[in-house]
Structure formats: C-alpha cells, structure tokens
Amino acid sequence: MRSILNRLFLAIALVISSIAFSQAQEHDHTGEATTQHEGEAPVEKGKFKVGDMIMHHIKDDHGWEFAHGVTLPLPVILYSADQGLEVFSSSRLEHGTVYNGYKLDHGKIHRVNAAGTELDDAKFYNFSITKNVASLLLSAIIMLLLFPAISRSYIGNRGKAPKGAASFLEPIILFVRDEVAKPSIGPKYTKYLPYLLTLFFFILINNLLGLLPGAANVTGNIAVTLVLAVITFIIVSFSGNKHYWMHIFKPSGVPLALLPIMVPVEIVGVFMKPLSLMIRLFANMTAGHIIILSLLSLIFMANSLGGMMTSVAISPVVMVFTIFLNLIEVLVAFIQAFIFTLLTAMYIGSAVEDHHEADHGIGYEPAEAH
C-alpha cells in the first residue's frame, strides 16, 4: 500500500515538475526573445535560438534565474591584483551594466575600461557564488542536515530497527557498502567507505536537484566532475601499493621489447581513468538536460514555424516524451552516482589489492554503461 502511494506521489511530482519546467521555459523564452531582439531587427521577433537557450540553461550563471524575471541575485567575488578583493551583488551587473570596471556578458564577467571596451588581457580571479556554487551549497546543507540527523537517530535508536529517513537511506548505504565497496576494494574497504558514501550521495543529490525546474546543472559542470575525479585520482595514487606501481612500471610477464609500449600505455591509463570519470558524469548529466530542453524547444520551434495552433497541437506529444525522459533522467541520476562510486571503488581496489590478482588489477574495467 505504502509503495503504491509512494509511486503515485512520485508520478504526480514528476508530472508537475515537468509541467512547471516547461512553463518556466516558455516564460523564459518569450521573454528572452523580446529582450534579445530589442536592439536587433524587429523582423526576427517571435524566433528564438534553441542552442543559445539550451546553453544558457546548462551553463553556470551569475544570479539564479528560477523563471523569467524571477532572478535571485548572487554575490560576485572578484580578486584582481590592482583592485584587490571585491564583493558585490550580481544584480549590479544586470543588463550589461558596468560596475567597478566589470561587465557581465553572456554569463562571463569581463574587465572593461572607462570607454566600455573589454580588456581581454586583464588578470582577475572570479570566486563568485554562481548559480552552481549556490546549488552546491544547497546540496551541502541538505546533506549536512540529513546525514548527521540520521546518525543521531541511529545512536538514539541503538539496537533497534531503523526508523524514518534512516530506514529509507539505510538500504542505499548498505548497497554502497556491500555491493560497491566490499567486492571492489576487499577487506580494506572500511578506510575508503566514508569517501565512497560522500561521493555517492553528493552526486546523487546534485543529480536529482539538477532535475528540478529552474535548478542548476551542478554535476553536468566539468569543474565539479573534475574536482571529484582529481580527488579519486589522488586517493588511488596515494593508496597504490608496491604491486600497483610495479604493474605500471615493470609489468611481470611482459617481454622486454614490449616495455616501451606497455609502460606509456599504463601511464596513460592512470590518467585516463579519472579523466573518464570526469567526462562520463559531465556528459551524461549535460546530455540529459540538453535532450529535455531540446524536446521542450520543439514547442517553441513549432510556434515560430507553424504558429500558435501547431505548438498547441504538438504540446501533448512533447509533454509525454518529456515526462518519459524525466523519468529516465531520474534513473540516470542514480545510475551515474552508482557508476562513479563503483569505478572509484574499483580503481582504489586495484591500487590496494594484494598481489595474486595483479594481472587483472589495473587493466581491468567492467563494461562501462553510458
């Protein structure tokens, strides 16, 4: 009974979210189209550039635009050698206004001179709380509220069955422990379990948050996945035992003549693994967002090609596809979190495992989904 209710609730939430999402898009685009074309030829009115719209949605931004006109200004933090540290609201840079010698152009802050021309060689560092950073902080707050609370419930509920959120998350935690960490790493898994759990839930929560309408595309940003991949790389490299490095630099059973080929291949492999982690997550999440946005764009393209009635006619079909893809994206959110964590665990496992399986250890990768 409960599971049926849960499913019903999930389905309703998805339908509502996709409808809200599409409406947000709609407002956005009609609005964007008008602002964009204010300075341009009025002939182009009613048309909008799908590519620009999609890029605008999947990329980072100063200010968090939930729907058109509803923008949460976020702090801009800049550091430059000559002007020092500067903190101001992103609302000061709206509509191309120049503030303190900075100008926001297509989501990127440029240094401008008094005349208003951009200075490309100006050096400054942008540590702004962008949309992605804000979403990142939001997900961190969610995790900091959720997991310590669960751990308290475990302590308060000692020796009893889990209750509430703990009973929902416990199977996932056990899954990461028993299906990911234990088989991949082996007996030394306890040391790496906290990292794997943090990784899994960080990716999962950010993936799911990214699916909400108006949300940021955090895990679809290459900087975020880069940091995760680099941390995994550091952990793997520092965990690597003698066998791991021996296998790379002096593989046993390889003819001497092949070493000049094998060693570079193995060295490239060391870097390829985190690189593949980085690109896999980034590409999967970004691609999912692009597909959903492209589908929704069909409505507006129909509007500009065949007029109002065509877009109304095409909307139900697009809606069905969008709901379907949203459901797939929910699945992908879990799968990608799982794959990133599993592969990290396997790389750690190959670095820490004891000798006897060294031949399979490093070159071995499971069939990589997606």
Taking CB under 8 A as the criterion, the residue among 228, 332, 358, 362 binding another protein is 228
Q: Are 334 and 305 in contact (CB under 8 A)?
A: no
Taking CB under 8 A as the criterion, the residue among 88, 147, 175, 245 binding another protein is 147
Taking CB under 8 A as the criterion, the residue among 66, 88, 154, 245 binding another protein is 154
CB atoms within 10 A of CB 294: 15
Q: Write the binding mask 188 to 207 for another protein: x where contact by CB under 8 A, - elsewhere.
A: --x--xxx-xx---x-----
Taking CB under 8 A as the criterion, the residue among 80, 89, 100, 126 binding another protein is 126
Q: How far apart are CA 272 and CA 363, in angstroms?
A: 11
Q: How far apart are CA 291 and CA 188, in angstroms?
A: 41
Backbone angles phi, psi at 301, to 5 degrees: -65, -40
Q: Is 223 in the site for another protein (CB under 8 A)?
A: yes
Taking CB under 8 A as the criterion, the residue among 16, 144, 268, 313 binding another protein is 144
CB of 335 to another protein, least distance (A): 21
Q: Are 255 and 318 in contact (CB under 8 A)?
A: no
Q: Is 186 in the site for another protein (CB under 8 A)?
A: no
Q: Is 253 in the site for another protein (CB under 8 A)?
A: no
Residues near 128 by Cβ (< 8 Å), separated by ≥ 6? 62, 74, 75, 76, 77, 78, 90, 109
Q: How far apart are CA 133 and CA 140, in angstroms?
A: 10
Mark the segment that binds another protein (CB under 8 A) among 223-231, 241-249, 312-320, 331-339: 223-231
Burial grade of 68 (CB within 10 A; 0-12, 13-18, 19 or more):
middle
Grouping H, G, I as helix, E, B as strand and the rest as coil, residue 84 is: strand
Q: Is 227 in the site for another protein (CB under 8 A)?
A: yes
Q: Is 174 in the site for another protein (CB under 8 A)?
A: yes
Residues near 88 by Cβ (< 8 Å), separated by ≥ 6? 75, 76, 99, 100
Q: How far apart are CA 165 and CA 156, in angstroms?
A: 14
CB of 361 to another protein, least distance (A): 26
Residue whose tokens read 């943090």: 198
Mark the segment that binds another protein (CB under 8 A) among 167-175, 243-251, 261-269, 291-299: 167-175
Residues near 103 by Cβ (< 8 Å), separated by ≥ 6? 93, 96, 97, 109, 110, 111, 112, 116, 118
Burial grade of 71 (CB within 10 A; 0-12, 13-18, 19 or more):
middle
Q: Which residues pair with 80 in a beta bridge?
A: 84, 124
Interface with another protein in residues 57-86 (CB under 8 A): 58-61, 77
Q: Which is nearer to another protein, 285 or 362 (CB)?
A: 285
Mark the segment that binds another protein (CB under 8 A) among 14-22, 170-178, 255-263, 304-312: 170-178
Q: Which is nearer to another protein, 66 or 154 (CB)?
A: 154
Mark the segment that binds another protein (CB under 8 A) among 10-18, 44-52, 147-155, 247-255: 147-155
Interface with another protein in residues 83-122 (CB under 8 A): 107-108
Q: How far apart are CA 35 and CA 42, in angstroms?
A: 11
Taking CB under 8 A as the criterion, the residue among 50, 172, 222, 259 binding another protein is 222
Cα angle 28, 32, 37; round to 5: 160
Mark the segment that binds another protein (CB under 8 A) among 24-32, 219-227, 307-315, 325-333: 219-227
Taking CB under 8 A as the criterion, the residue among 22, 25, 90, 128 binding another protein is 128
Q: Which residues pair with 124 in a beta bridge?
A: 80
Amino acid at 4: I
Q: How many residues bind another protein (CB under 8 A)?
A: 50
| Residues at the contact surface with another protein, assessed by CB under 8 A | 55, 58-61, 77, 107-108, 125-130, 132-133, 136-137, 140, 143-144, 147-148, 150-152, 154-155, 158-159, 170, 173-174, 177, 190, 193-195, 197-198, 202, 221-224, 226-228, 231, 286
